[in-house]
Amino acid sequence: MNHKLELQHITKTYVTEEGEMAALDGINLEVKPAEFLCIIGPSGCGKTTLLRMVAGLDRPTSGKIVLDGKEVKCASPDRGMVFQEFSLFPWRTVLKNVEFGLEIGGMADKERQAIAEKYITLVGLKGFEKHYPYELSGGMKQRVAIARTLATEPSILLMDEPFGSVDAQTRNLLQEELLEIWKRTKKTVLFVTHSVDEAVYLADRVAVMSARPGCLAKCLTVDIPRPRKRTSAEANEFRAKLLMWLSLERSKACATL
């Protein structure tokens, strides 16, 4: 089977005053087309760094990242990224934010507006085109960010704890909407989270990372049929399994400290 994305022996070392510090150590990971993969791990395990490297915002110290058969060297609209922090351009309206990537790409006014409208509707913000980010709630801001990322039709969607800064109810709603969007657009999604619930609800597969140096401890396939219920017995069972793996990794990390 062809892989959408391949991470080959990724390492990342930072040079600090005390010498070299390994942040990521020998990560190997393959992501299938249209797969929803969650990366979960204790804070500081380098999961965000890993995602940023796929985005092209950081470079691995060694190893290769291959997307659609081509090596990733720098940032490009080919890989859409949704950040944890609110990242809308405050001087642009919702419509102009969603149009941003298309405008940079040199698309004509009318054309890009039509595409932007389509994605604004997809994230359920029709009627808010003329609003500025300061007029939106946290959840709405992240929806716009998702629409903006989708508008350039990236071949993979990278999400770095995108719902980390919205309240719990909104988070549940956004997760459902994201699954809906994923189903409709058939994008490959790489989703970083520290929430076990989120991973169990969203993912086809969960990659558990260990800390210091970060490496992949375990890949678990979430074999719960969709649509999933958050409170089902299977979900609970999987949650327990995942929690066990995480606590195992945590105790290992503590032991080495």
Contacting residues toward other proteins, per CB under 8 A: 55-57, 74-77, 79-81, 83, 85-87, 89-92, 100-101, 103-105, 132-135, 148-149, 152
Please say whether the beta carbons of 106 and 53 come within 8 A.
no
Nearer to other proteins, 94 or 222 (CB): 94
Question: 138-151 and 168-185 are packed helices; what angle lies between their axes, rounded to 10 degrees?
Answer: 20
Nearer to other proteins, 104 or 240 (CB): 104
What minimum distance in Å lies between the beta carbon of 100 and other proteins?
5
Sheet holding 188-193, edge to edge: 79-82, 156-160, 188-193, 36-40, 205-210, 215-221
Q: What are the backbone dihedrals phi and psi of residue 92, each rounded to the nearest 5 degrees, phi first?
A: -110, 145
Nearer to other proteins, 56 or 139 (CB): 56
Nearer to other proteins, 152 or 193 (CB): 152
Percent helix, percent strand, percent coil in the chain, to nearest 5: 40, 25, 35
What minimum distance in Å lies between the beta carbon of 18 and other proteins?
25
Nearer to other proteins, 153 or 176 (CB): 153
> Which are the contacts of 159, defined by CB distance < 8 A and separation ≥ 6?
51, 81, 82, 189, 190, 191, 192
Q: Encoding tokens for residue 142?
A: 């992240």
Q: Encoding tokens for residue 157?
A: 């969607």
What minimum distance in Å lies between the beta carbon of 148 and other proteins?
7
What minimum distance in Å lies between the beta carbon of 72 and other proteins?
12
The neighbour count for residue 245, using CB atoms within 10 Å, is 19
Nearer to other proteins, 39 or 199 (CB): 39
What minimum distance in Å lies between the beta carbon of 137 and other proteins?
12
The Cα–Cα gap between 77 and 118 comes to: 18
What minimum distance in Å lies between the beta carbon of 76 and other proteins?
7
Residue 25 CA, chain-centre distance (Å), reads 20
What minimum distance in Å lies between the beta carbon of 130 and other proteins?
11
Nearer to other proteins, 133 or 213 (CB): 133
**DSSP state letters, 129-178:** TT--GGGS-HHHHHHHHHHHHHHT--SEEEEESTTTTS-HHHHHHHHHHH
